Amino acid sequence: MFFGAMDSPALMALIGDISPSEKRGITLGFFGTFTSILAIPVLFFTGVLFTVSHVLPFYANLSIGLLSLGFFVYAFVAKRPAGT
């Protein structure tokens, strides 16, 4: 829940506005993929991290969110043609 649930529609609209129309669907689908896939085993890992230290789950959540954002930015910037 890196960005929060309340601003999700605004975030999707922003991503739709900044992405090219021919890649809009894959961009919107790609943005939520990593956080959805990583959410499957998160309860187990959060419990393990919480038993080690009470702050580790929060750092793990922050790092996963930043990693997802990094993948998104890399995919958005790396796929542009040379002249744009």
| Average pLDDT of the segment spanning 2-12 | 66
Predicted TM-score (pTM) of the model is: 0.43
Query: Does 44 have pLDDT greater than 70?
Result: yes
Of residues 75 and 66, more confidently modeled: 66
Q: Mark residue 38 as left, alpha or beta (left: phi above 0; alpha: psi -120 to 50; beta: remaining).
A: alpha
CB 55 within 8 A of CB 40: no
CB 31 within 8 A of CB 73: no
Output the six-digit token pair for 72: 């998104």
Query: CB pairs under 8 A, 24+ apart, for 79-82?
Result: 79/23
